Structure 1
Amino acid sequence: MLALADSGERPCVNRERYAGTTVLQRQVDMAIAMGCDAIMFLGRNPADEDVLAAQHLAESEGLAFRFVSRPGDIATSVPKDAELIVIAPGVLARNSVVLEKLGAQKAIATLPADHAFAAGLERLDLHSAWAGILRMPGRHVSQLDMLGTDFEPLSALPRIARSSGVKERAVSVPLLENGDWRLPADDRPFSLQAPEAPSTVASLTQRCAGYLAARNLPDAYAYGVLVLALVGSVALIGLGRPAIAIILAVAAMVAADIGRQVRKLAQPLRFSRPETADWSRLAEPACEVVAAIAVGTGLAGGESITAAAFSSVIALLLVWIGRPIAPKRFRAFVQPPVIWTLAASSGIFGIWWGAVFVPTMLGFGALAFHFRGTGRITQS
């Protein structure tokens, strides 16, 4: 059961959008991932735009969708041999591991009472409160009939489940602090991504993707920059400016990564639908090919075309071979923007053999670290 209960002039937190997708749609995804075959929706207006979007998403995945406007109709809508999953407005899981832990079994997710007070979640006793998700047998839902017609279902159901003997599962405080389990009153910037290590290219692109997603800007912005930078890079190679061409190719690589992340964040079915092939993943290798061509063009100014082409191709292949197997501590050094920025820096000063040397040595380094670690494992 999901809800969209606006309070006076304040809209329900389930209306909030991130990368153009409402929290309500993301909760539909959570419900599908937990095995629901029907969604009951508690609200006031079945023609609401956000409700219709959630309904379309649920029905497109084969789920039945029932709108309930009166709390008293909930009990008659849940078969006694079924299970009811309730997700409070604004509650979200950031990854499937947390969702599996909290929603896979019949249980009431709980947390310390002081953490739930600001979120407006139901307090169960002096020390604990509802954490925003529960799974209970349908036969217990009929107890709602004893409450009459004027009651708050999201407050009543956790108490009914608890009094009926449904076990409790505590949500650890670290899950709340790092954002893996998000409560309605969490005022930190909304994110569906686990933070990357600071001061890395991945951290920079993640921040940029999060900025676009938080403002509901489409991935077309990033992909527009990608196309312009790549076309400019090719044009500059033709105009004999290979160093600047590499810099534009690096900008295209960064834009491709940002666009891919924004597109992924915009997908409402993150948990329930397997990740599909993304054509934009081809953009980064294409940018690297352009950068390697620019290096070869710069090198050809002082060497034969054959030697220049051979050197740049070997450098690119070594990077492509070494990157997937590079140890974690070395991985940041073989990321495309890092390698080709160093190559461009060398090319700006006219040291084109240095521009070849950088990717070649980093590719060799990744291979060396990999096989060194493999050797140690074998010896032990």
Structure 2
Amino acid sequence: MRTRAAVATAPQTDLEIREVELDAPRSDELQVKVVASGVCHTDAIIRDQWYPVPLPTVLGHEGAGIVEAVGADVEGFAVGDKVVLGPAYCGRCEQCLDGHPMFCVNFYDRNFGGGRADGTKSFSDGDGEIGSHFFGQSSFAEYTNVVASGAVKVPDTAPLELLGPLGCGIMTGSGAVLNVLQPQPGSSVAIFGTGAVGMAGMLAAKAAGVTTIIMVDIVPERLEFARELGATHAINSKDTDPVEAIREITGGGVHYALDTTGVPPVFAQMTKSLATRGHGVLVGAAKLGTEAPFDIGTLLLSGIKISMVVEGDAVPQEFIPRLINLHADGKFPFDRLTKTYPFEDINQAFADSSNGTTLKPIVVY
């Protein structure tokens, strides 16, 4: 079939909206009419080739839509089902079988390989094949073929125009808090970065009963918005040493911390802001080969734990419905972070995400 798609062609270059050919879904796939897709920092860094994903390709990995066709071997889905699309994983490796599919040993190939596992691609045009199956979905297209195991069926009443970011950015921040840090009610947390991932982590911490929530950033407007959403403290690290400020606020350090930036000096600040036996998580993506300072001499006696976390270490089929329920109950108002754009304005959505004008853009088809 023919469909429109936004194609990434070169680093630091606007996506091109083209009419392309979409092949038939394979036996393990769903064909989905995409209603909306979030725009994520990861889309931008792949466009800019931080990771070597072959170009041209169709990006997009926070899709939500309606099932149009069901592959012959797929069970549990029917035409007309509403779905939120999560990352692809094999379902057979040790990590998948142990309940940690976001650490699938085949995760990189399945999500960044530029096509199906057999090398075929879903999209093509007069110039040749176009990469597909980014995060198993390539949702910057009006219609796409997705890996069925990454799709999550949601209620018919679910607002698909809103829910796509639950498949990555919102899941990453909230999952890092709820699934990995697992903060105790009445505890303290510091979150470095007030983008969509950091704000999702903050909302999750509030929902979990954390009573001291410290947000760290250099953008005053975002820090003020974080206070509006429930942060108890806001630190502008351009003006104030965040480690000293956090230790003063908490009387020695936070129980939990989250670095959403992937910036080496910020990572170092996170490690030093933790209380004895505190737990810190890094979710921010950095270029391959990036190293960060880690004071093993001073920190040895602290007993801290540092975790590297992908996609909130979530099982999407369990975690995404959980977030939807929290939102419905008014305990996870992630809709406050979003702004919608028509598909034709997708490059403006990228620009607004990059300059901080919009925390979580959502492209609506």
With structure 1 as the length reference, what TM-score do the two structures score?
Answer: 0.28
Higher Cα Rg, which structure: 1
* Higher relative strand content: 2
